[in-house]
């Protein structure tokens, strides 16, 4: 192959790639998706209960701003915040406690437990916060999963809930406005956002019939319920926790010991048949009315959640 032919092939490949990106990738380069466009204006007939879960590790400088912005939300419905201190060593816990005095009825602070095997720190902190919300006598309708370095406008939560309720959404997410002041930030952050939109075109993400999903992890309003084929599945707190663990391990066989460690606690007797009982409860709710079956028993080993075995 001579050099001229090789150069022509490379040029044509480059042209094909750029043509695809320009005309068949959701118009990501236009950066046209904005939350304020077509935002619902009507309030829901009844404002749902929301609990924010905020994991925090070494965020002492940010907590007075981020946590205060959550506690100052102009939200008409029941709203509270659970802050989980992820073993900080810079005074994060003390900074949070300083705000608790004026919001004792809306702010719960948890000192994070030691990190168990198989978990990363932030997700373990989130899991502890969610478990605390689940333990409430009236579990919330929505969870707001947020980071400790994000500040909210006073009407942010109201707008998220309006959008979720009006659209029947199980998840509504906003990408925060990133700090872009220094030379390095101005050089790198726009490129990062542009590349992120190229990978996950926001126009596709916002379409119900598209398979692309890309929530921004720092701000996710999640409906606290299980659904399959559009139908709501009523679960107890323990069934919900069991399903959540199985979904995190989707496609992998989990043992009874692993279930005990993640859903019950380390002092629970794994030989107790209560695990089999809850697996049976869960199977009746998520599998019996639907096909294909998802929850399978691997005899002598444990259980696996997958569409086919």
pLDDT tens, position by position, 145-160: 999 999 999 999 999 9
pTM of the model: 0.81
φ, ψ of residue 79 to 5 degrees: the values are -145, 135
- Helix/strand/coil percentages in the chain, nearest 5: 40, 15, 45
| Residue corresponding to tokens 């046209």 | 32
Give me the pLDDT at residue 138, please: 81
Rg (CA), the chain: 23
pLDDT digits (tens, 9 = 90+) for 204-218: 999 888 888 888 889
Crossing angle for the helix pair 237-248 and 274-286, to the nearest 10 degrees: 80
- Give CA–CA dist 129/114, Å, rounded: 14
pLDDT interval class at 308 (50, 70, 90): low
Give me the pLDDT at residue 263, please: 83
Domains of the chain by start residue, with CATH? 50-223 (3.90.550.10), 227-305 (1.10.10.10)
What average pLDDT score do residues 246-272 get?
A: 79
pLDDT at 269 over 80: no
pLDDT at 266 over 70: no
- Give CA–CA dist 222/213, Å, rounded: 14
pLDDT at 164 over 80: yes
pLDDT digits (tens, 9 = 90+) for 24-57: 999 999 988 888 778 888 999 999 999 999 999 9
Centroid of chain to Cα 241: 15
The larger pLDDT score, comparing residue 253 to residue 211, is at 253
């Amino acid at each position: 192959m001579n050099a001229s032919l090789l150069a022509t092939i490379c040029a044509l490949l480059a042209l094909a790639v750029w043509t695809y990106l320009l005309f068949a990738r959701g118009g990501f380069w236009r950066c046209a998706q904005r939350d304020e466009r077509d935002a619902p204006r009507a309030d829901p007939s009844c404002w749902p209960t929301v609990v924010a879960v905020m994991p925090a590790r070494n965020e002492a400088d940010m907590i007075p701003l981020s946590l205060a912005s959550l506690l100052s939300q102009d939200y008409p419905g029941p709203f509270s915040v659970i802050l989980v201190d992820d073993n900080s060593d810079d005074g994060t816990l003390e900074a949070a406690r300083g705000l608790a005095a004026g919001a004792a009825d809306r702010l719960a602070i948890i000192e994070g437990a030691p990190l168990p095997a198989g978990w990363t720190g932030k997700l373990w902190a989130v899991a502890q916060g969610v478990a605390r919300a689940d333990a409430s006598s009236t579990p919330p309708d929505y969870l707001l999963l947020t980071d400790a370095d994000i500040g909210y406008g006073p009407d942010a939560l109201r707008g998220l809930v309006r959008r979720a309720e009006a659209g029947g959404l199980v998840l509504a997410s906003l990408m925060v406005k990133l700090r872009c002041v220094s030379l390095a930030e101005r050089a790198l952050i726009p490129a990062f956002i542009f590349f992120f939109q190229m990978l996950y075109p926001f126009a596709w993400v916002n379409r119900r019939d598209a398979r692309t999903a890309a929530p921004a992890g720092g701000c996710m309003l999640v409906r606290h319920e299980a659904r399959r084929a559009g139908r709501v599945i009523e679960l107890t707190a323990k069934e919900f926790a069991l399903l959540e663990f199985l979904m995190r391990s989707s496609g992998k066989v989990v043992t009874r010991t692993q279930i005990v460690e993640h859903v019950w606690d380390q002092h629970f007797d794994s030989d107790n048949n209560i695990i089999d009982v809850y697996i049976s409860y869960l199977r009746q709710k998520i599998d019996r009315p639907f096909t294909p079956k998802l929850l399978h028993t691997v005899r002598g080993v444990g259980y696996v959640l997958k569409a086919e075995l």
